[in-house]
Amino acid sequence: PPSCLPAEDISTNSNGPKQEILLDDDQEDLFAEATEEVSLDSPEREPILSDGPSPAITPVTPTVIITPRAEASMFDRSLDEDEDTEENGDTFDMQITVSDPEKVGGFGCTSLNLFSRNEFSVKRRFSDFLGLHSKLASKYMHIGYIVPPAPEKSIVGMTKVKVGKEDLSSAEFVEKRRSALQRYLTRTVTHPALLKDPDVIQFLENTELPRAVSTQALSGAGILRMVNKAAEAVNKMTIKMNESDAWFEEKQQQFENLDIQLRKLHASVESLVCHRKELSVNTASFAKSAAMLGNSEDHTALSRALSQLAEVEEKIDQLHQEQAYADFYLFSELLGDYVRLIAAVKGVFDQRMKTWSKWQDAQLLLQRKREAETKLQYANKPDKLQQAKDEIKEWETKVQQGERDFEQISKNIRQEVGRFEKQRVKDFKVVIIKYLESLVHTQQQLIKYWEAFLPEAKAIA
């Protein structure tokens, strides 16, 4: 782990305002958090996006954490090299597997470093994943890194499409969650800076994680709601940002459009999953009915053909079920992930606005201090004058820092967006191809089944 970070970077200050305990103390019940909703109104939400010290998190300023400049050079290197990080053979390559909690009493989390071949296996609770995300968000979002959001806590999908009773079955729910956690962790370690983050390393390697009592665990939806609140706050700012860089305005608009379309697509795909499941159920029901009809048909050959029709339909119902599974895990979940990711992207753009605003405020204050000093020059109060001069120096530094911060976050965002877009293109291409392959498989099976049935139908004499 890099030496520039102290081992404990999260202060657990018990003197701060009353913390909301989100973690469940019950060891056995993994699903206690299943329907827990995160409270929006608790004031502890704010600290993550605001600057300055807060009880729950270490004051994180650019000089204390892994310096962005160092990170930036790493970025540059990775961007200059071959697009595909898989071909780097770098320490960037980590393969993550999250396994079924039933078997090990906690989500088994295995990370395999493809370069060094070091492998770690640990047990983690769902809240641990949320805790990890909250730490990373608090450390990196305000300097412009797109931190992958953690999976949803609640069962209801983001688009709130009415899903059948089957979705609430515990086996399906667990698999959904497991898969989501694996994707979350994989995205996290794909980020070059996050991969090297001590919290991430600790998460992947330490057998025991410290019980982070005061960590505020936020789900993807929680982040989204916070981002929206922050965006509202930003809009209410009296000074509208002078966008000198058209790139940012363009990109924000693009992400806005992408957001709208992805949500729409997600809703349609969720509807498809639902109808496909329904089709499977109805086909099975029809198959039984056809079998019954075949039984009562007194013409022997027709009776046999009807029974065979029933068998075909039964196989087809299985096929529909498998296809619905593919619809969901390949297509729908990807879309859901990206809707949440874009919320994180928007969050980062808003952070830049805040950084700019802070810089502007510093400039304004400096101006006032200078005016005050000018006035004091004629007032014959030497100690006050000295104080004024000191304050001017202080605020000049702050203005410089503010400008640096703004430039840094702008630079980071550019790089992050570049990386994000590459990843997005890759993800979608891969998933689209896999999904089409699943559709191909379904049609091939259908052909097989009907080809087998046709001679049976023709045999009716």
Partner 1 sequence: MMQEGLDDGPDFLSEEDRGPRAVNVDLQTDATLQVDISDALSERDKVKFTVHTKSTLPNFKQNEFSVVRQHEEFIWLHDSFVENEDYAGFIIPPAPPRPDFDASREKLQKLGEGEGSMTKEEFTKMKQELEAEYLAIFKKTVAMHEVFLCRVAAHPVLRKDLNFHVFLEYNQDLSVRGKNKKEKLEDFFKNVVKSADGVIVAGVKDVDDFFEHEKTFLLEYHNRVKDASIKSDRMIRSHKSAADDINRIASTLYTLGTQDSTDVCKFFLKVSELFEKTRKIEARVAADEDLKLADLLKYYLRESQAAKDLLYRRGRALVDYENANKALDKARAKNKDVLQAETTQQVCCQKFEKISESAKQELIDFKTRRVAAFRKNLVELAELELKHAKGNLQLLQSCLAVLKGDT
Interface stretch with partner 1, choices 58-66, 99-107, 257-265, 364-372 (CB under 8 A): 257-265
- Render the burial of 84-98: b for 16+ CB within 10 Å, e for the rest: ebeeeebebbbebeb
Mind spelling out the 3-state secondary structure of 261-302?
Answer: HHHHHHHHHHHHHHHHHHHHHHHHHHHHHHHHHHHHCCCHHH
Minimal distance in Å, beta carbon 437 to partner 1?
7
Interaction pattern, residues 280-319, with partner 1; x per rule: CB under 8 A: --xx-xx-xxx-xx-xxxxx-xx--xx--x----------
Minimal distance in Å, beta carbon 187 to partner 1?
17
Restricting to residues 415-444, which ones interact with partner 1 according to CB under 8 A? 421, 424-425, 428-429, 432-433, 436-437, 439-440, 443-444
Question: Which residue's CB is nearer to partner 1, number 278 or number 371?
Answer: 278
DSSP at 162 = -
DSSP per residue over 348-405, as a string? HHHHHHHHHHHHHHHHHHHHHHHHHHHHHHTTT-HHHHHHHHHHHHHHHHHHHHHHHH
Minimal distance in Å, beta carbon 130 to partner 1?
30
Instruction: Using DSSP, state whether 76 is helix, strand or coil.
Output: helix
Question: Which residue's CB is nearer to partner 1, number 69 or number 264?
Answer: 264
Minimal distance in Å, beta carbon 88 to partner 1?
19
Q: At what angle do helices 333-377 and 246-296 cross, to 10 degrees?
A: 160
For partner 1, the binding residue among 276, 340, 346, 352 (CB under 8 A) is: 276
Interaction pattern, residues 217-256, with partner 1; x per rule: CB under 8 A: -------------------------------------x--
Taking the C-alpha atoms of residue 153 and residue 22, their distance in angstroms, rounded to an integer, is 12
Query: How many residues are there in the chain?
Result: 461
Amino acid at 291: A
DSSP at 218 = -
For partner 1, the binding residue among 112, 155, 279, 376 (CB under 8 A) is: 279
Taking the C-alpha atoms of residue 333 and residue 434, their distance in angstroms, rounded to an integer, is 13
Restricting to residues 116-145, which ones interact with partner 1 according to CB under 8 A? none
Q: Which residues bind partner 1 (CB under 8 A)?
A: 254, 257-258, 261-262, 264-265, 268-269, 271-272, 275-276, 278-279, 282-283, 285-286, 288-290, 292-293, 295-299, 301-302, 305-306, 309, 421, 424-425, 428-429, 432-433, 436-437, 439-440, 443-444, 446-447, 450-451, 453-454, 457-458, 460
